[in-house]
Amino acid sequence: MTRETRSQIPAPSGPTAFGQLPAELRKVTYSGARHPGAGTPECPSSAPDGPTAAIGPAAPGDFTALSGGANCQRYAYAVLGHFGLPMPPLRSAELWADRRATRRTDRPRPLDLVLFDGGPVAGRPEGYGAHVGVHLGPDQVLHLCREVGRPAVWRYADFAARARYARLLGFKRAVGPEGR
């Protein structure tokens, strides 16, 4: 993709959109240790400037932040970064509470973040441990999970069928540099 189209939302959805991503975003392996904010040596490619630094590709075509694998958040943020929507390295509860880099929405659009969990847990903030994916279009979510080990596109029913993802917590829209 050229720099001009990086901020363009992909026209196709679902598996078609997934197939059009660069190979580096289609072949990432799952690693629970590779989460946003993980420091050296656990995650040597973490953002060097602290918690407000963007995560994901540093430049068009640079996917070194994913070379050692990723968890669901790091992967989702890299996909958004590919389309010109950089995200700070927020863990799931931080992402759900965030109002600076994202906003909640009831009607998802392509490239909105989707959060799933198994329901509230006493003593933990809402969104703690939530699974994060990227809404690609009607009934299509791109995500990276331990179960599959590589990026996959699932329907919302696929998440609902698994206890750990049974509750759709909600949607977050990256504000991005242009206030998307």
Q: Which structural domains are found in the chain, ordered by start? A: 12-174 (3.90.1720)
| Element (DSSP H or E) covering residue 157 | helix 156-160
Instruction: Tell me whether strands 167-174 and 113-117 are parallel, antiparallel or unpaired.
Output: antiparallel
Q: What is the pLDDT along the chain (180 residues), one digit of tens a residue?
A: 333 444 455 655 666 677 888 999 999 999 887 766 555 434 333 333 333 344 544 454 555 578 889 999 999 999 999 988 999 999 999 999 999 999 999 999 999 999 999 988 899 999 999 999 999 999 999 999 999 999 999 999 999 999 999 999 999 999 966 555
CB atoms within 10 A of CB 72: 23
Whether the model clears a pTM of 0.85, i.e. scores above it, the answer is no
- Amino acid, res. 114: V
